[in-house]
């Protein structure tokens, strides 16, 4: 299926990054936020990152302007009616996603593909909210979406081959390195990474080391490009806790459960870079 127009629902850090990838790849993108103010903030964020690419000679000034011209903002879901592909990037809450997919099914054309960017929820459960689950797939981008090369293309139980391959092709056109996988808790990366990061966080107390020491151990000793504490701060401590809880609920494996230390940090509002303080302090 040929994709010309992409809708992105939710223009937070992840959604804005996906929208940026879309307009850079030459797609017309309709970005939907719940308020015009949030939409404009997303446009400013995208414009800022594209300007930085111009300053680094990675993008011509004319290309930046052309890309921004392909971005349309709206607060009305019905504006997505002509989209060939709609990517959902709203809050990681199953109820909210189910409600959204029911609405999208009523709005978009029957042949349009619906994709969820969920990192831990079941794509099959989300697809079940529609009467046409064959057109629903997962497109799991990683944060920050413009920089991280991987996209997990997730096949739900009833996803059609055409929907999976079309989503794969879109990710390739965006310059990504997509992989295909089936719908299983955590997909590929988070199924491995979430319990591993939880083990690292538990080691802070068990080995009686500081975040700095733990990060040094894993970068200098295990060859990680980024220490686990720095990584969790970047991802967002609230996001990590939510993903851990979702995986533990599905799998009941103790390593999946978020350690008490990071749950307490989440409850205290220490969310990492986004809040200015997590394992580390940020200006």
Q: What is the pLDDT of residues 136-184, one digit of tens each?
A: 999 999 988 999 999 999 999 999 999 999 999 999 999 999 999 999 9
What's the pLDDT at 143? Answer: 85
Q: Does domain 5-182 have CATH number 3.40.50.720?
A: yes
* pLDDT of 238 above 90: yes
- pLDDT confidence band for 12 (50 / 70 / 90): very high
Residue 176: CB atoms within 10 Å: 21
- pLDDT confidence band for 120 (50 / 70 / 90): confident
Instruction: Give every strand in the sheet of 150-155, ordered side by side.
Output: 71-74, 28-32, 5-9, 85-88, 113-116, 136-141, 150-155, 177-182
Which of 33, 88, 105, 140 is an active site residue? 140
Q: Does the annotation count 140 as an active-site position?
A: yes
What's the pLDDT at 198? Answer: 98
Q: Does the annotation count 244 as an active-site position?
A: no
Q: Does the annotation count 119 as an active-site position?
A: yes
| Domains of the chain, residue spans | 5-182, 190-272
What's the pLDDT at 99? Answer: 98
Average pLDDT, the chain: 97
Q: Nearest 5 degrees, angle CA 140-CA 144-CA 150?
A: 45
| Cα 200 to Cα 215, 245, 252, distances in angstroms | 9, 17, 19
CATH of 190-272, one of 1.10.1040.10, 3.40.1010.20, 1.10.10.10, 3.30.70.20: 1.10.1040.10
In this prediction, what percent of the chain has a pLDDT beyond 70? 100
- pLDDT confidence band for 28 (50 / 70 / 90): very high
Asked if residues 176 and 139 have their Cβ atoms less than 8 Å apart, the reply is: no
Q: pTM of this prediction?
A: 0.93
Which of 24, 117, 119, 159 is an active site residue? 119
What's the pLDDT at 283? Answer: 86
Which of 190, 198, 240, 244 is an active site residue? 190
- pLDDT confidence band for 1 (50 / 70 / 90): confident
Which of 152, 198, 240, 242 is an active site residue? 152
d(CA 15, CA 167): 16
What's the rounded mean pLDDT across residues 205-214? 97
Residue with tokens 């319990």: 195
Strands 150-155 and 177-182, sheet pairing: parallel
* pLDDT of 219 above 90: yes
In this prediction, what percent of the chain has a pLDDT beyond 90? 97
Q: Does the annotation count 40 as an active-site position?
A: no
């Amino acid at each position: 299926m040929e994709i010309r127009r992409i809708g992105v629902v939710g223009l937070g850090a992840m959604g804005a990054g996906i929208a940026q990838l879309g307009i850079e790849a030459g797609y017309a993108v309709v970005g939907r936020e719940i308020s015009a103010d949030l939409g404009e903030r997303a446009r400013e964020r995208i414009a800022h990152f594209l300007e930085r690419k111009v300053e680094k000679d990675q993008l011509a000034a004319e290309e930046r302007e052309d890309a921004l011209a392909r971005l349309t903002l709206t607060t009305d879901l019905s504006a997505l009616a002509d989209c060939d592909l709609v990517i959902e990037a709203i809050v990681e809450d199953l109820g909210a996603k189910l409600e959204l997919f029911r609405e999208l099914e009523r709005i978009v054309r029957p042949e349009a593909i619906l994709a969820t960017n969920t990192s831990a929820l079941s794509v099959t459960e989300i697809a079940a909210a529609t009467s046409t689950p064959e057109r629903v797939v997962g497109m799991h981008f990683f944060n920050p979406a413009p920089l991280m090369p991987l996209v997990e293309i997730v096949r739900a139980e009833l996803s059609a081959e055409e929907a999976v391959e079309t989503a794969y092709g879109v990710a390739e056109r965006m310059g990504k390195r997509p992989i295909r996988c089936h719908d299983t808790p955590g997909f590929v990366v988070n199924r491995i990474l979430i319990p591993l990061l939880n083990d690292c966080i538990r080691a802070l107390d068990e080995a009686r080391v500081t975040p700095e020491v733990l990060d040094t151990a894993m970068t200098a000793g295990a060859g990680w490009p980024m220490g686990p504490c720095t990584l969790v701060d970047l991802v967002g401590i609230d996001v990590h806790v939510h993903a851990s809880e979702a995986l533990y609920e599905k799998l009941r494996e103790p390593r999946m459960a978020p350690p008490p230390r990071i749950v307490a940090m989440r409850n205290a509002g220490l969310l990492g870079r986004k809040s200015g303080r997590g394992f580390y302090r940020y200006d």
